[in-house]
Amino acid sequence: MTVVPADITAVVQTIHNTPTKIVLEFAGAGAFALGWLHSVGGSSRTILEATDRYAAASLQDCIHFEAEKVVSRGVAVAMASAAYQRAQALADDSTPLAGIGCTATIATDRTKRGDHHCWVAAYTATHLITLNLALTKGLRDRDEEEQLVSRLILQAVAAACGVDDTLPFSLSTEEAILENREPVALLDQLLARSLQTVTLSPDGQLIANEPIKQVVMLSGSFNPLHQGHRQMVEVAAQKLGRSLYFELPLLNADKPAIASAEALRRGSQFLDYAPLVYTGAPLFKEKAAIFPNTVFVVGYDTATRLIEPRFYNHDPAEMTAAFEQIRIAGCRFFVAGRLKNDRFLTWRDLNLPFEFHDLFDGTTEREFRVDVSSTELRQQNHE
């Protein structure tokens, strides 16, 4: 029988005495943490489900996108957000919940080129907590590194459950645990329309009502973010000499609102890359009022829909009024072309009313061409 350290037992007992239930997702390390949670009576009061995402396809099933770097803050946050949504499906509405995600790379039976490190994230109804630990390579064997990663997971579980107890860590003078907490309630305030915007910065901070203007901005659902999105806005930013932003509207007239946990899961794709601003503005005339003097980057299909009469109740005056609001705000559109029926179409192929011509510009095929869409990627991932 495995002997559980006394300090671990004490913290786990305290965790089990709280009402919080968790779903745990881990990849690369973390098995000891699950064993410790089960080793103390009462684990059924805490654990709803736990999954070891060892295969790459399993991890992708969890986070719904292909990660460029598996051991990263973004992946840990995506795992925790997905775990929280899973917990919501498994428990009743009155139960305090937490989603825990861990991604790590530690010592194994071969020499690894990269660093040994881990990211742990905990998502609750009020906070997103992230913990990072870079391990000194060669200082410990696999068992010792697994112990440290698992302790970090328990630390995150304790924090998510409101437990103040902290675990001791045997770290070298060069090692340190970096912790960050962000109030996810800001996203709930956005959904309640008490905030206009919430920006997720590349370093993980959530900022309410950040002033944003004179940027290039790509709006979308980003489920998932793909290379076409990246190249589209990067080309526009470089050509126009502006900084880039992405925007994810949480409210849509034709679809259910995107919940906070799902918003953070999608937002995790932008961590360490670019700022993402959440809004409740599905229409471009609304976006223009929030982001004056902005160039909105759109794909050819979106640009086509922008000038379809059916979206304006087949009323030319309504369409003109909408575009006039965009013009008054100093905003315009930058169109990325696409291949359609063996022909590459650009903004010049749009059937634009004469009075809107000054509001549109775009790329040539040489400047930008990526034949991929989020819908196609989602379909491929579920085949």
Strand stretches in 220-308, DSSP E? 244-249, 276-279, 295-299
Q: Are 68 and 207 part of one and the same domain?
A: no
Q: Are 195 and 116 part of one and the same domain?
A: no
Q: Are 157 and 288 part of one and the same domain?
A: no
pLDDT at 377 over 70: no
* pLDDT (tens digit per residue) in 126-150: 999 999 999 999 999 999 999 999 9
Q: Which residues of 49-84 are buried (b: 16+ CB within 10 A; e: fewer)?
A: ebbebeeeeebeebbbbbbeebbbbbbbbbbbbbbb
pLDDT at 382 over 80: no
Q: Are 137 and 167 part of one and the same domain?
A: yes
Q: Are 55 and 103 part of one and the same domain?
A: yes
CATH of the domain at 360: 3.40.50.620
End-of-domain residue from the set 133, 159, 182: 182
CATH of the domain at 79: 3.90.950.20
Structurally, the chain folds into a number of domains equal to 2
Residue 272 belongs to some domain of the structure: yes
pLDDT at 236 over 90: yes
Q: Are 76 and 169 part of one and the same domain?
A: yes
- DSSP character at residue 144: H
Residue ranges making up the domain that contains 342: 185-381
Q: Are 279 and 203 part of one and the same domain?
A: yes
* Long-range pairs of 374-380 with CB within 8 A, sequence gap ≥ 24: 374/220, 374/221, 374/222, 374/223, 374/224, 374/225, 374/226, 374/229, 377/224, 377/226, 378/64, 378/223, 378/224
Q: Are 227 and 346 part of one and the same domain?
A: yes
Quick one: average pLDDT of 264-272?
A: 97
Structure confidence at residue 375 (pLDDT): 54
Quick one: average pLDDT of 66-95?
A: 97
The larger pLDDT score, comparing residue 15 to residue 363, is at 15
Structure confidence at residue 337 (pLDDT): 86
Q: Tokens in use for 191? A: 């959904």
Structure confidence at residue 108 (pLDDT): 86
End-of-domain residue from the set 160, 182, 204: 182
What's the CA gap between 151 and 162, in Å, rounded?
A: 16
Quick one: average pLDDT of 153-165?
A: 95
Quick one: average pLDDT of 351-368?
A: 89
Per-residue confidence band for 373, with pLDDT thresholds at 50, 70 and 90: low
Residue 241 belongs to some domain of the structure: yes
Peptide bond into 316 cis (omega under 30): no
* pLDDT (tens digit per residue) in 308-332: 999 999 999 999 999 999 999 999 9
Residue 1 belongs to some domain of the structure: no
Residue 133 belongs to some domain of the structure: yes
Q: Are 151 and 197 part of one and the same domain?
A: no
Q: Are 78 and 12 part of one and the same domain?
A: yes
Q: Are 168 and 194 part of one and the same domain?
A: no
Mean pLDDT of the chain: 93
Residue 346 belongs to some domain of the structure: yes
Residue 353 belongs to some domain of the structure: yes
**At 11, which helix (H) or strand (E)?**
helix 6-16
Q: Tokens in use for 224? A: 């998932």
Q: What is the pTM of this model?
A: 0.92
End-of-domain residue from the set 182, 216, 248: 182
Residues for the chain: how many in total?
Answer: 383
Q: Are 200 and 91 part of one and the same domain?
A: no
